[in-house]
Amino acid sequence: MSVAAQLTEMKQAIQEACRTCERNPEDIRIIAVTKYVSIERTIEALEAGISDLGENRREEFLNKYESIGERATWHFIGSLQSRKVKDVIHQIDYLHSLDRKSLAKEVQKRAERTLPCFVQVNVSGEESKQGLPPDEVERFIESLQAYDKIHVVGLMTMAPHVEHEEELRAVFRKLRALRDIIRDKNMPHAPCEHLSMGMSNDFAIAIEEGATHIRVGTSLVG
């Protein structure tokens, strides 16, 4: 299917989810995750009206950036080794995977402008998942105050594969509750208003639970 057709379907699903929870669809940012697809398919997505692209690997990101450049808003959504920060920091618009002090230090050292970041949280506690345990997030974000190149705009999580929808909702709710606590502290370096959560299989549920940024690959550009 064309990206345009898949985008139409996705927008309908987003509207439906927004109706259920009385939200405005315009408050949901769609990030097309293009990590599995070619440059041609990525350009097709831009032509279909998508403006935000997500990549999770340095090489693939740089490859696409070379062709597409500033025509897109770039979200780096994968785990990032500190030594690779310098390769992507000047090109990306958002980092969704800030999860440790050493990475923050490297961003601070290399960035030439303030980078909007999401702090990645491992809500479910699965060992295979990146991210900070929920009980460390508040202190971590407070500790970033001195890092003037980092602006914490929200929290991000990857939901686990679970059997029951309620388990999934519980993960999203927990991230939202954590976001509320941090946002309500009104820290100038960490407005923390956003929630990056929801992928192809669970974006509708994530929206019902408050997602502001959904990261969708397979069901949009796949």
Ligand X SMILES: *Cc1c(COP(=O)(O)O)cnc(C)c1O
Binding site for ligand X (CB under 6 A): 33, 35, 56, 77-78, 158, 199-200, 215-218
Q: Which is nearer to ligand X, 169 or 189 (CB)?
A: 169
Please name which of 197, 194, 196, 168 lies closest in space to residue 180, comparing C-alpha atoms. Answer: 194
Minimum Å gap between C-beta 112 and ligand X is: 26
* Tokens 């105050």, located at residue: 145
Q: Which is nearer to ligand X, 115 or 197 (CB)?
A: 197
Q: Which is nearer to ligand X, 18 or 37 (CB)?
A: 37
Report the alpha-carbon distance of residue 79 to residue 20 in Å, rounded: 33
Minimum Å gap between C-beta 81 and ligand X is: 15
Q: Which is nearer to ligand X, 100 or 215 (CB)?
A: 215
Query: How many whole angstroms from its chain centre is CA 163?
Result: 24
Minimum Å gap between C-beta 96 and ligand X is: 7
Q: Which is nearer to ligand X, 158 or 178 (CB)?
A: 158
Minimum Å gap between C-beta 218 and ligand X is: 4
Report the alpha-carbon distance of residue 123 to residue 25 in Å, rounded: 25
Report the alpha-carbon distance of residue 13 to residue 22 in Å, rounded: 14
Q: Which is nearer to ligand X, 161 or 185 (CB)?
A: 161
Residues paired with residue 117 on neighbouring β-strands, in sequence order: 95, 152
Report the alpha-carbon distance of residue 105 to residue 82 in Å, rounded: 9
Residues paired with residue 94 on neighbouring β-strands, in sequence order: 75
> Which tokens sit at 38?
């070619």
- Look at strands 115-120 and 150-156 and give their pairing: parallel
Please name which of 78, 69, 25, 13 lies closest in space to residue 46, comparing C-alpha atoms. Answer: 69
* Tokens 């299917």, located at residue: 1
Minimum Å gap between C-beta 188 and ligand X is: 28
Minimum Å gap between C-beta 186 and ligand X is: 29
